[in-house]
């Protein structure tokens, strides 16, 4: 009898301890990471693409607040100037600068990198945030399908051209902004860019570009690791956040009719920017991690590490995408 009680008590104690440890880990994972957790960034140089609105604007503003030399890499200088004025009004001591960058133009990307390298010898964070979503079929000035061309190829080329600075800066990070939409993305290397609009669907093409963001992140991390680099590659997604991107989709009458509650479910762009910020500056981040909101279906909430699909971890696809991207952009990473 005593033996039975002893065994029972031991089992219960074991379960209790397991539950306690598990809940401690869970609490840590789910701890509410906010802008208050951003460390001092004085001395750091951070580029945010598409920083004039939405997620990019919020992230750039908070990096600047913490002392980073922040570069607003934007295609529309007027919009960028309005964003800069807003940041300077709120944070007068901030060090923020506009540098023109159109990710749908390989020559603009090269010009941007040339200008950047004339001014800066280090790059602590490259936040590849800019994006277009679910637009009709179209091509960039280099002939790339525009969602793949802007969201993936533009950032791929930008990263490749800046890789020397990233490798020379202690603990630099590349942060690629993906989306829950990567879940319906597929890679079809025989018709990667829906040539001439063949088989094009705005949703599918967006999903593919966002899957490409993750394949690129994980492959870059593998390549950093292979050469023993201190730099890391990380990904993030904002869940569902109210920005120009989502508002432009919601303005269609059929969306309003079919999904009357959808617009009310969106979190603010400031909340949506937290995963990108955490991936960019939380000192505990490990290369290859993917951050997104902790809430229901990763639509909203505080940023935590989230899983991505099996397709996003397909190393063969990642290698092929890398090769194709190097060929298309003419940018070979010196890794
Ligand atoms: N909001 C969401 O719920 C959501 C969900 C999942 C993923 N995301 C991702 O989050 C990122 C940021 O989007 P957002 O929601 O903040 O939308 P947003 O407010 O529309 O911001 C997008 C930014 O990208 C810029 N951009 C677009 N094309 C560009 C190009 N060719 N060259 C340079 N910049 C360009 C835009 O510039 P202009 O102002 O000149 O157009 C704008 O600054 C995107 O990668 C998007 O895919 C957003």
Q: Which residue has the tokens 């080329």?
A: 157
pLDDT at position 296 over 80: yes
Q: Whose CA is nearest to atom 19 of ligand 1?
A: 54
Identify whether the C-beta of residue 96 lies closer than 8 Å to the C-beta of residue 67. Answer: no
* Mean pLDDT score of the chain: 91
For position 22, what pLDDT does the model report? Answer: 40
Per-residue confidence at 335, pLDDT binned at 50, 70, 90?
confident
For position 20, what pLDDT does the model report? Answer: 43
Cβ of 76 closer than 6 Å to ligand 1, yes or no, is yes
Q: How far is the CA of 163 from the centre of ligand 1 (A)?
A: 23
C-alpha of 77 from chain center: 22
pLDDT at position 18 over 70: no
- CA distances in angstroms from 261 to 230, 255, 256, 291, 302, listed in the order given: 45, 10, 8, 26, 22
Q: State the Cα–Cα distance between residues 114 and 39, nearest whole angstrom.
A: 30
Superfamily of domain 41-329: NAD(P)-binding Rossmann-like Domain (3.40.50.720)
pLDDT at position 313 over 50: yes
Cβ of 153 closer than 6 Å to ligand 1, yes or no, is no
Joined together, the tokens standing for residue 289 give 């991690």
Residue 25 vs residue 218, higher pLDDT = 218
Q: Is 222 exposed, middle or buried (0-12, 13-18, 19+ CB in 10 A)?
A: middle
For position 290, what pLDDT does the model report? Answer: 98
Cβ of 133 closer than 6 Å to ligand 1, yes or no, is yes
**Pocket residue to mutate for ligand 1, from 243, 268, 275, most atoms within 8 A of Cβ:** 243
Q: State the Cα–Cα distance between residues 131 and 210, nearest whole angstrom.
A: 9
Q: How far is the CA of 52 from the centre of ligand 1 (A)?
A: 9
Q: How far is the CA of 12 from the centre of ligand 1 (A)?
A: 52
For position 247, what pLDDT does the model report? Answer: 74
Instruction: Dump pLDDT digits (tens) for 110-143.
Output: 999 999 999 999 999 999 999 999 999 999 999 9
Among 67-81, 154-168, 190-204, 253-267, where is mean pLDDT lowest?
253-267
**The whole model's pTM is what?**
0.91
Q: Which strand (E) or helix (H) includes residue 13? A: helix 2-29
Q: Whose CA is nearest to atom 44 of ligand 1?
A: 131
């Amino acid at each position: 009898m005593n033996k039975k009680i002893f065994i029972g008590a031991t089992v219960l104690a074991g379960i209790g301890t397991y539950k306690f440890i598990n809940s401690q880990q869970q609490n840590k994972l789910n701890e509410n990471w906010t802008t208050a957790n951003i460390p001092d960034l004085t001395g750091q140089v951070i580029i945010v693409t598409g920083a004039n609105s939405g997620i990019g604007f919020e992230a750039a503003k908070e990096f600047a607040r913490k002392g980073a030399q922040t570069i607003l890499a934007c295609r529309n200088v007027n919009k960028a100037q309005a964003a800069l004025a807003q940041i300077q009004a709120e944070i007068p001591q901030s060090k923020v600068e506009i540098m023109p960058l159109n990710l749908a133009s390989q020559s603009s990307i090269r010009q941007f990198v040339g200008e950047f390298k004339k001014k800066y010898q280090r790059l602590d964070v490259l936040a590849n945030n800019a994006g277009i979503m679910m637009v009709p079929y179209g091509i960039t000035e280099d002939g790339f399908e525009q969602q793949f061309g802007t969201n993936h190829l533009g950032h791929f080329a930008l990263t490749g051209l800046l890789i020397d600075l990233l490798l020379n800066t202690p603990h630099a990070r590349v942060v690629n902004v993906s989306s829950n939409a990567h879940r319906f993305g597929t890679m079809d290397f025989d018709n990667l860019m829906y040539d001439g609009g063949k088989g094009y669907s705005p949703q599918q093409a967006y999903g593919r570009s966002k899957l490409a963001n993750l394949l690129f992140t994980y492959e870059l991390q593998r390549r950093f690791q292979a050469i023993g680099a201190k730099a890391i590659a990380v990904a993030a997604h904002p869940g569902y956040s109210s920005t120009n991107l989502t508002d432009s989709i919601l303005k269609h009458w059929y969306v309003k009719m079919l999904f009357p509650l959808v617009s009310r479910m969106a979190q603010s762009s400031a909340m949506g920017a937290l995963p990108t910020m955490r991936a960019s500056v939380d000192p505990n981040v490990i290369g290859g991690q993917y951050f997104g909101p902790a809430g229901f279906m990763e639509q909203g909430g505080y940023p935590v590490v989230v899983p991505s699909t099996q397709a996003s971890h397909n190393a063969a696809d990642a290698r092929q995408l890398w090769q194709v991207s190097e060929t298309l952009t003419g940018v070979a990473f010196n890794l």
